[in-house]
A and B are shown apart, each in its own frame.
Chain A
Amino acid sequence: MHFYPFKLKAFTFVFIFVLTPTVMWAQQTDSAAVEATPAKAPAGVPLTGTITDADNNQSLAGISVSIPGFSAALTDDNGNFTLNVPNYSATVTISGEGQQTRQIALKGRQSIQVSVHDEAFRSVYDMANLPHSQKPLNQTVHSLASLNLADKWQYPYETPDNYLQGRIAGLNVTRRSGTPGIGSILSLRGINSLNTTNQPLVVVDGMIFDMNDYGGSLIGNYFSNPLANIDLKDVDNITFIKDAASMYGSKAANGVLLITTAHPEELTTKIDFAVYGGMNFRPKSLPLLDASEHRTYLSDILKTRGWSDDQIQAQPYMNDDINNPIYYRYHNNKKWQDEVLANSYTSNYYMKVTGGDNIARYGLSLGYLDQDGIIQGTDYKRYNTRFNADYRMSPKLRASSNLGFTYNEHTLKDQGLFAKTNPLYLALIKSPFLAQNEISDQGVVSPNLADADIFNIGNPRALVQNMNARNNNYRFFGSVGFNYDLTRVLKINSLFGITYDKLRENVFVPRLGTSADTLANGVAESRMSSQVQRLFSLYNDTYLSYDKYYGTDHTVAAKLGFRYSNNRTEEDYGIGYNSATDELQTIGTGSTALRQTGGDIGKWTWLNYYTTVDYGYKSKYFINFNLAMDGSSRFGKEAESGVNLFNNSFGLFPSLGAAWLVSSENFMANVNAIEMLKLRASYGLTGNDDIGNYTARQIYVSQNFLGQQGIVRSNIANYALQWETHKKLNVGFDAALLNERVTLSLDVYHNQTNNMLTMEPAGTVAGFDFTLSNNGGMKNQGIELALNSRLLNTLVKWDAGIILSKNRNELTKLPGGPMLNSIAGATIISQVGQPANAFYGFKTNGVYATDEEARTAGLTTRLFNGALANFQGGDVRFINQDENSEINDDDRVVIGNPNPDFTGMISSRWQYKGFALDAAFTFSYGNDVFNYTRAQLESMQGPENQTKLVRNRWVADGQVTNTPRAAWGDPMGNARFSDRWIEDGSYLRLRNLSLTYSLPITQGFLKSSSIYLTGINLVTFSKYLGYDPEFSASNNRLSQGIDTTLEPQYRSVLLGFRLGL
């Protein structure tokens, strides 16, 4: 596609600047044309037919049968109708209250028998929400998934991102941890970029919903999840565009997630009220050494420290004399995990009022959520409100507003790699013979918590009880849209919106019960910090839309518009240490000498001109063309592959899609089994603009010299720095068989990332470590399947479905050779020809049974001081990959791939009268996981408690075992990053199980009522040895599959009740 810039440049100019006046001109002629049309009586040929209910075969009355823009009729009491149609290859639309809307291609038939499903039926004729338009799924050309969230009332605690898990083929949703509200890391069709975001673009009610993280959190492994601000119960539809969504230009590289919140459809006043309560169940404890086993282990490991038996026996924890005053302090048998993990409770209340009149319709919802975590002392509270309204201000002018305000209060603990403050991690490594409270010489337990112990390991209870980590944030996300009919076919629309997001964090780590941290110029006993983050963005989307039927065969829908967003972020933080007592928890009470402050400000603007043209012929052939021209303050002025406009470089993003509704062809008239078959293909360009705010300019930053501030260069500017270009090719088909009892979608895609942002090592003499350029490439290929079927359609209805995705990622271009990243002791390699994020470490083959065997192998490794040492009995047999006999970094190979071979979901729904039972199994197959937690708990290099496995450790020459010897400080590197710690992360999980009972409506004022009994994560099948195989320790796509001791996923059960008034 190297030819496109030149041609498209010319084309775009023509299109944008020439077409604008043309459209204006068209406005006048068209109004004349439209007024002339209705006077004519519809000509054509008669069509007759009967419409029945698919569930019970009874005829349906009052169903509308129409050919839009041509004719319309209603069915009589027997379900019969007669309609004038232009010819017998037309397509009629059938719709009725409580029933699905569907299209029927006549295919030469003069009479049709149609059985329609109810509204809730997931159908190929459902409307998909596309940017600025709605379209029945059977007419779309994109690869997309549309969810109507029929089951949203069953899952009150799911954030929208978690809800999507398994439901959209190609979207890999990994929940970050079990922390309530923390959400998921989403990636569509693999890793698309090394250094920029892999997060899909989220558009809520037509406005971009900012999903970025500005400055991170002060709380270990916490992510403030923007999607948690959206209550699923407010959402009407979620549509995911998976192929080239070029209308969003340089923001659409990772797909576009369109969320539409519910707008009232009826005028009558309705009240929906729901209340839920539930319980979360803590996971099973990991098997650790008990008190006596740990004592034995200690005596062993201390010997390797060079301590004599006398020295070891003199340790207080080795004392067995009950008369010794320290006896009681070291003779407990504590199960520390039980002191941190606990069952917890959740509750949720929700109320929604809708109603209105002919002029204005409104919907107001309020919600309150209180969800406790399974780590004690953590919880999540959410207060959400939403006001959606539509106004008909005049026959030609309509307006709508979508205002959402959500306030979140999170009480948290550190998680992940915060070895001194992660209570869960401390509970694992803390010796079981120690007690949580002070114990007197007589064995009397004091109410005071014990301080950090003799091994300098903190007391997990001190963190659970006294660590104070709060994240309070709110987001106002509101927009007002206007829609003005210039003529019947030409409309002008404009949406103005603002996002105001504010986050405040306060963290306090107490002095008592924690081990101190070492700072550059001090020792941190107690730690306190605060930060404020703010995002303010303005958004405008204005466009002209043109919709017209030309005759009965041609439909044209075109849009021409622009989007603008202006963003400003600010982050300020302060860190303090060592207040006088643990009661004083603000930064100001800390030591002045150690106080630190910092912050950042980011600004960027984005401008996107776009046009979309949809053309349909005979309701059988569909073509969609998109073109966006994107400018951004982030792009370099000399970006080469763009067009130059207003002294800025603009990126061009065209896409073309086509679909052929084969099933509407006359030759398909007799193939009754095939209700719908659509072939589609699309190809296009999207971009990624996440290249840093000022990276394309030469900038200077502050540099201190003593207390004085100077200014220094901070980069070598790349004035040609530009968006990444993502080429997306997608071919697929959608089919519905046997009157939609089976629906099937299959997609095959090939995505190529070009101009991928790379951080190339700048030569030594360049003065900087890296330069940024668009020199990388990546490729993703995959196949996706979504299959749904109604297996039983009797009194008992049974729907079952499977969603399956497979993706293969390959880095195709990376200048400067393989890139290595390090996280949690793991090395991750990105190299050409391989997946972008492979685990890179040592291969092992058991443990040397004897010194003799080790000597024969003749391998050495380098000690800390540079001396070469020979492996001996009890050391790990590392596989030597190169010529020399030294085990060093050159012996590392790829030892795992964290990307799954398959992900997906198997779902099932049974319905019987008022009962419905939904079950969904999610699975991930073939992904490797680095169990960092286990690597710590089986490293046998210090006094920390270990897993039961270390009982099998090598202790005597000749012992055959696969667990190496204990060695203080691990001089031989037996615990280094190797395949010992890589595990299969595959799992199959009963993700959701929900029983719903809808009560028969009894009273006049009570319109509906339902009871929900829902279980989440009820059963998980996995060989993984940690708490749970699903986690994401980082927002970076490259560092997935690393278990850094996060709050695990847990089971929960809840009961809910919903009333409709």
Chain B
Amino acid sequence: MKKKFSSALGRGLVLLMVGLSIFSCKEVLEVEPENALEADKFYQNKFDADAAVIGIYGEFMNLAERYVILNELRADLMDVTANADDNLVQLSRHNVRPGNPYADPKPFYKVILLCNDALKNFDIMLAENKMDNLEYSQRYSDIAALRTFLYMQLMLHYSEVPYITEPFVKLADVQNLSRFPRYTIEQMVPELIKVLEKLPWKEEYSSTNSLVAPIDNYASNKFFIPKNLLLADLYLWSGNYNAASRIYKAFIDPGDFSQYKIAFAQVGTSNGNPIQDLAVAYIRFREDDAFSLIDDELDGWRSIFDRPVDRLFNAEWIWYLPFDSRFLPKNPFIDMFSNRGGRYLVKPSQAALNMWDMQVQRNGIQGDARKLFTVRNINGQPVIYKYIYDYNPLTPLNTNGKWWLMRAAQVHLHFAEAANHDDQPRVALALLNNGIRNIFNNGNTDVRLNYDTFLPFPYNFAARSSDAPYNFRDPYHQHEGIRGRGYVTNRVVPANMSAQDLVKTIDNYLVDESGLELAYEGLRWGELVRIAVRRNEPAFLADKIYQKLVTAGDPRADEVRQRLMTRENWFLPFKWE
């Protein structure tokens, strides 16, 4: 009996051995990771596609510091403090040496790779009917536009940029990286325009899209890149000014009187509370008193950067991304800007401070009030404040803040630039100065024949506001223009200027205004490069940087100017490894 049992067991062992060794091998070596997702398990439905979009924006957030530092510190309005390390000093002085981490383009390419990976798989999902056409086109367009934005950034900072649109799947894909075309600005712009023009969806995500839902109490609709405006900006680069204007105009037209329309200051009250606005203003009837400047979290120009996400916030902001201390990444701006709890690495340049100080307000007070909201004097030091209104050094744990990416003022200034080059200098001046109503006031007492450009789209602005004899509330009746809203006096152009000089003069005004209004919002370097390239005039850019350095008393100012007179030297070294 025992023998029988044991020999049965023995046979069993033989069977087991043969069985295990042959049948199960295939399955045995298949192991599914639980803390990661294998490629063939991903991109199965639209929620996977949402996850890809969310992941990409999550990764994109890591570029915030780099975006601001590269675009501002390399330009004229930002300077280093004594706390800054050598790497920042190199950026500010335009003598970047190899190994400078800020000059490394890799973080951009990391996000680009994620975009490429998503785009290719979205295509496959569409082909395999894993997403319908609408779901596909919205997500695809969003990510393709974001990738375009990244390449635009790269093109601004590196002279020749490898243009890669395929996801690297295999090791072999990354072994001959020099096979990709390298584009200069002139080559890159048409390429990017092609991509954007072909996008199947150029609007925001539709309200029914699953991506349009609050994320941790933040409405997500302003997180995604405005595809159309990006295209319009690229048209500005390529010289297709009319096309650019059409997009800008179409963008600001809809909505109420204040939506994206740079509305005037409200003087009335509603239910006993002052009606809030986003304009520089003084307490009524005390306009001559510098101390009555409205400096409020919820009212006035300062509130653009300080107010919660409400109707007025949405009337100005088009694209922003929030930093929340509960989640990574950490808000980099407190460390960068604050001298109370941060490391205070960068500050406004003396040239920038002078620029504001040279403006005159409409009440005659010297100096642009926007300076006081952009730069605060804390403990005797000028501190860039646009990003750190939400930060209180007494509650250092709360590091909430926002990455500012695009707002209505930028659209207006770019629109003005397009109009200026599209033979509409008056429209440009109206957008720049104090609005359609004031610039297009032809004195005609018949309100129906006044306060209107009487131009075809995209320069058709109507700005009437009349109760009698006709009741008009035209869409642009609250339009105040950038300088009007900033409460500074108009830019004037001499009456008998040649058309060519006029365009140039207005362009210069626009660049200056962009500095006054949009300083430190990550646009400066792009504006300088665009104008300098368009005019083929390196001195334009070199002089601005020279001004910054010479005003700061930097002995190397001349040397830097000399270097920047050659276009190649505007750019950072492209680190290949």
Contacts and interface: CB of A to CB of B under 8 A. Distances in A.
Partners in one complex: yes
Interface of A: 20, 393-397, 482, 484, 486, 492, 494, 520-523, 540, 542, 544, 561-562, 564, 566, 593-594, 599-605, 607, 609, 631-633, 645-648, 693-694, 697-714, 716-720, 761-769, 771, 773, 816, 862, 864-866
Contacts of B110: 767-768
A1048 to B, nearest CB: 37
Given A394-B2, A708-B54, A862-B86, A769 B106 contact: yes
A712 B58 contact: yes
A818 to B, nearest CB: 13
Contact of A710 (B10, B29, B58): B58
Interface string B108-130: 01101110010000000000000
A710 B51 contact: yes
Nearest to A24: B14
Interface of B: 2-3, 5-7, 9-10, 13-14, 16-18, 20-21, 25-26, 28-39, 42, 48, 50-59, 61, 82, 84-87, 89-90, 104-106, 109-110, 112-114, 117, 162, 164, 167-171, 173-174, 177, 180, 215-216, 218, 322, 324-328, 330, 396-397, 399, 574-577
Nearest to B171: A718
Contacts of B5: 394
A709 B39 CA distance: 17
A712 B114 contact: yes
Given A765-B162, A773-B171, A601 B35 contact: yes
B36 A716 contact: no
Given A486-B10, A600-B35, A764-B577, A542 B25 contact: no
A763 B576 contact: yes
A397 B54 contact: no
B13 A693 contact: no
Nearest to B86: A866
A705 to B, nearest CB: 3
Contacts of B328: 520, 704
A607 B57 contact: no
A396 B7 contact: yes
Nearest to B113: A767
A632 B109 CA distance: 33
Nearest to B161: A765
A401 to B, nearest CB: 15
B27 to A, nearest CB: 9
Contact of A761 (B7, B85, B577): B577
A815 to B, nearest CB: 11
A5 B114 CA distance: 38
B35 A492 contact: no
A697 B25 contact: no
Given A394-B2, A700-B42, A633 B29 contact: yes
A397 B8 CA distance: 11
B82 A865 contact: yes
B25 A710 contact: no
Nearest to A493: B13
B397 A521 contact: yes
Given A604-B31, A865-B89, A706 B52 contact: no
A716 B168 contact: yes
Given A607-B28, A705-B57, A482 B13 contact: yes
Contact of A763 (B21, B177, B330): B177
Nearest to A637: B29
A478 to B, nearest CB: 19
Main secondary structure of the interface of A (DSSP, over half): strand
B85 A710 contact: no
B576 A764 contact: yes
A691 to B, nearest CB: 14
B574 A764 contact: yes
Contacts of A862: 86
B37 A706 contact: no
Given A486-B14, A593-B325, A712-B59, 10 more contacts: A396-B6, A492-B14, A522-B397, A540-B20, A601-B34, A631-B28, A711-B51, A713-B113, A766-B168, A766-B174
Given A632-B29, A766-B168, A767-B114, A705 B39 contact: no
Most buried by A among B14, B164, B180, B396: B14
Nearest to B34: A601
A706 B322 contact: yes
Contacts of B86: 862, 864-866
Contacts of A494: 13, 16-17
B218 A542 contact: no
6 contacts: A396-B10, A492-B13, A705-B215, A763-B577, A771-B174, A865-B89
Given A522-B396, A693-B33, A705-B55, A720 B171 contact: yes
A535 to B, nearest CB: 15
Contacts of B174: 716, 762-763, 766, 771
Contacts of B326: 593, 707
A764 B106 contact: yes
Contacts of B112: 767
Contacts of A599: 35
Contact of B10 (A492, A605, A707, A719): A492
B106 A712 contact: no
A600 B35 CA distance: 6
Contacts of B85: 864-866
A863 B92 CA distance: 17
B111 to A, nearest CB: 8
A494 B85 CA distance: 65
Contacts of A561: 17
Q: Which of B2, B89, B109, B574 has the most CB of A within 10 A?
A: B109
Nearest to A562: B21
A716 B169 CA distance: 6
A514 B42 CA distance: 47
A876 to B, nearest CB: 21
B294 to A, nearest CB: 32
A494 B397 CA distance: 60
Nearest to A766: B174
Contacts of A564: 20, 28
A768 B218 contact: no
A521 B330 contact: yes
The 3 closest A-B pairs by CB, nearest first: A710-B55, A767-B113, A710-B54
Given A482-B9, A492-B13, A768-B110, A393 B52 contact: no
B15 to A, nearest CB: 11
Contacts of A607: 25, 28-29
B95 to A, nearest CB: 9
Contacts of B399: 521
Contacts of B56: 710, 712
A599 B36 CA distance: 12
A663 B306 CA distance: 93
A520 B330 CA distance: 7
Contacts of A703: 54-55, 58-59
Contacts of B29: 605, 607, 631-633, 646, 648
Contact of B20 (A520, A542, A866): A542
Contacts of A594: 397
Contacts of A771: 171, 174
A411 B565 CA distance: 67
A699 B34 CA distance: 11
Contact of A766 (B50, B59, B109, B574): B109
A333 to B, nearest CB: 39
Nearest to A699: B36
B39 A698 contact: yes
Nearest to A591: B397
Given A593-B397, A648-B29, A397 B9 contact: yes
Given A648-B29, A709-B54, A542 B109 contact: no
A206 to B, nearest CB: 16
B322 A562 contact: no
A575 to B, nearest CB: 14
A710 B31 contact: no
Nearest to B9: A397
A701 B89 CA distance: 36
